[in-house]
């Protein structure tokens, strides 16, 4: 296959995606990252969108094999933030000049439909910010209520497009159900985010190609490709972490295939590589999601081990990120950073 030709094609086949994911020569990799950066500049511009995350509960009713928040992890100290604490943290995010707030938790039905709706509505009264929910699979009627209350976006990663692997990793969940939730969220008018985890046990390059193609089929507004990092006290605690190179290749190929989609340089990537954020931003990413969860809770949101920036004061996060982003000639966006597809359609 001819690398240059593939990099400039408008539509890529699964075989071509696999070819790109298998690149290993340094010069070829640089060509791939450069092309992804070009596509990012064309479809997203040079602005980097910040999304302030509040991990408001680390309780979870699920038991995903790779995740430190899984219900069977009795070693984890659990917490739940009160609505007042969540709303106060949202104010701090807004005051630091960030216009998307991500409300994230495990699947925790303690926060029922009305309580989540109240939190969304209260934050929306403070400023015109976008609210992303990342609460796992919840009821279809709940999605509807929260949309009416003002939620703009929903993040629900599919993790793998391989149904067999999906049912191994997620003990009581099925891939077709997850896809049905994603489609329903889209129907309700949410800007929808999904994505995979790279380097999970038993996953192949073909699976990763299918992950990217599923993101395309779902016509996502945001797609996240984060590396697997083993978490203590989980069945996968002794498995190998994902490689930085494969993670960057996946992000770059995804950018070339998906084009006008938001792609984050994840905190997990920054955790396995000191320069992970910058490398991600140069390989197709246009979003960074700093964690604003207050102490002491932030240290207890242990999806995986040794998360980056855990000991940093959330308030100093923005200036640190600004320095990093400006060092590569990019700038922090001052907008909400809504779906790039909304602009295309308007």
CB proximity list for 177: less than 8 A, separation 6 or greater: 137
Which positions ≥6 away from 73 have C-beta within 8 Å? 233, 234
CB of 229 to ligand SF4, least distance (A): 13
Closest CA to 130 of 342, 343, 333, 337: 337
Name the minimum Å distance from CB 9 to ligand SF4.
Answer: 35
The nearest distance, CB 52 to ligand SF4, in angstroms, is 19
Rg for the chain, CA atoms, rounded: 19
Neighbours of 174 (CB within 10 A): 12
* Nearest-angstrom CA–CA distance, 6 and 22: 13
Which is nearer to ligand SF4, 78 or 259 (by Cβ)? 78
CA angle 171, 176, 178 (to 5 degrees): 70
Least gap, CB of 203 to ligand SF4 (angstroms): 16
Minimal distance in Å, beta carbon 285 to ligand SF4?
Answer: 22
Decide: 297 and 310 in contact? Cβ < 8 Å: no
**Which of these, 244, 252, 251, lies nearest to 268 by C-alpha position?**
244
Query: 107 vs 207, which CB is nearer to ligand SF4?
Result: 107
User: At its nearest, how many Å lie between ligand SF4 and the CB of residue 236?
Assistant: 12
Binding site for ligand SF4 (CB under 6 A): 60, 62, 64, 67, 69-70, 106-107, 136
Report how far residue 10's alpha carbon sits from residue 204's, in angstroms, rounded to the nearest whole number. 25
Q: Which C-beta is closer to ligand SF4: that of 60 or that of 120?
A: 60
Q: What is the spatial distance between Cα 142 and Cα 117, in angstroms, rounded to a whole number?
A: 9
Q: Which helix or strand (DSSP H or E) is residue 271 part of?
A: helix 267-272
Which residues are bridge partners to 82 per DSSP? none
Closer residue to ligand SF4 in complex, CB, 104/333: 104
Nearer to ligand SF4, 106 or 193 (CB): 106
19 vs 236 by CB, closer to ligand SF4: 236
Degrees to nearest 5, angle at CA 210 with 9 and 52: 90
Q: Measured from the CB of residue 66, what is the shortest distance to ligand SF4 in angstroms?
A: 7
Nearer to ligand SF4, 106 or 337 (CB): 106
């Amino acid at each position: 296959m001819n690398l240059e030709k593939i990099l400039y094609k408008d539509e890529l086949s699964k075989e071509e995606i696999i070819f790109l994911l298998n690149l290993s020569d340094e010069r070829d990799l640089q060509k791939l990252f450069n092309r992804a950066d070009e596509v990012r500049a064309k479809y997203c511009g040079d602005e980097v969108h910040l999304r302030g995350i509040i991990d408001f509960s680390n309780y979870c009713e699920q038991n995903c094999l790779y995740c430190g928040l899984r219900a069977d992890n009795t070693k984890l100290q659990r917490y739940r933030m009160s609505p007042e604490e969540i709303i106060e943290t949202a104010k701090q995010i807004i005051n630091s000049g960030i216009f998307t707030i991500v409300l994230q938790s495990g699947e925790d039905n303690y926060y029922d439909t009305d309580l989540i709706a109240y939190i969304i509505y209260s934050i929306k009264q403070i400023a015109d910010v976008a609210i992303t929910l990342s609460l796992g699979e919840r009821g279809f009627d709940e999605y509807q209520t929260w949309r009416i209350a003002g939620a703009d976006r929903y993040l629900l990663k599919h993790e793998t497009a391989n149904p067999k692997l999906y049912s191994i990793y997620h003990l009581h969940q099925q891939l077709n159900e997850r896809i049905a939730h994603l489609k329903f969220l889209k129907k309700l008018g949410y800007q929808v985010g999904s994505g995979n985890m790279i380097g999970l046990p038993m996953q192949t390059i073909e699976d990763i190609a299918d992950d990217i193609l599923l993101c395309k089929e779902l016509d996502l507004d945001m797609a996240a490709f984060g590396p697997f990092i083993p978490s203590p006290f989980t069945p996968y605690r002794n498995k190998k972490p994902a490689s930085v190179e494969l993670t960057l290749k996946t992000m770059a190929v995804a950018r070339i295939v998906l084009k006008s989609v938001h792609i984050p340089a994840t905190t997990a990537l920054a955790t396995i590589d000191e320069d992970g954020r910058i490398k991600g931003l140069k390989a197709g990413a246009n979003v960074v999601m700093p964690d604003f969860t207050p102490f002491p809770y932030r240290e207890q949101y242990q999806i995986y081990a040794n998360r980056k920036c855990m000991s940093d004061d959330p308030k100093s996060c923005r200036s640190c990120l600004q320095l990093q982003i400006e060092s590569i000639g990019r700038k922090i966006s001052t907008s909400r950073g809504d779906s790039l597809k909304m602009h295309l359609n308007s």
